Amino acid sequence: MVKAVAVLSSSEGVSGTIFFTQEAEGAPTTVTGDVSGLKPGLHGFHVHALGDTTNGCMSTGTAKFTIVDKQIPLIGAQSIVGRAVVVHAEPDDLGKGGHELSKSTGNAGGRVACGIIGLQG
């Protein structure tokens, strides 16, 4: 079993912790989290390719969630460990919104919090 964690923070008062667990290579990854300081409503949730938050992530509710997904492994060549998880201001339209950004970003709006996914001991 592999476990990872991302501690989210932002200059806008959004904070939280996201936990990732994968039992074995090829098994789905379970993601649980608790994020506070969000504006009410839906928010996009993405894993970004790079874990570089040196320039920040580029509001008063809480999101608690559990996600199980085979596309975000902790083990193997496509591991998300070391990448960044980002919470966006708006919901992700899954590329179906018709906006010019729908296919590339899900038109999810600005970044309101982020953290680097690291192994958990």
Query: Which of these, 71, 66, 76, lies nearest to 24 by C-alpha position?
Result: 76
Q: Where in the sequence is the domain holding 78, given as residue range(s)? A: 2-40+49-86+111-119
Domain with residue 9: its CATH number is 2.60.40.200
pTM of the model: 0.69
pLDDT tens per residue, range 85-113: 888 888 888 888 888 888 777 888 888 88
- Number of domains, the chain: 1
pLDDT tens per residue, range 48-88: 777 777 776 653 355 678 889 999 999 999 999 999 888 88
Cα 108 to Cα 52, 58, 99, 112, 117, distances in angstroms: 20, 13, 11, 11, 20
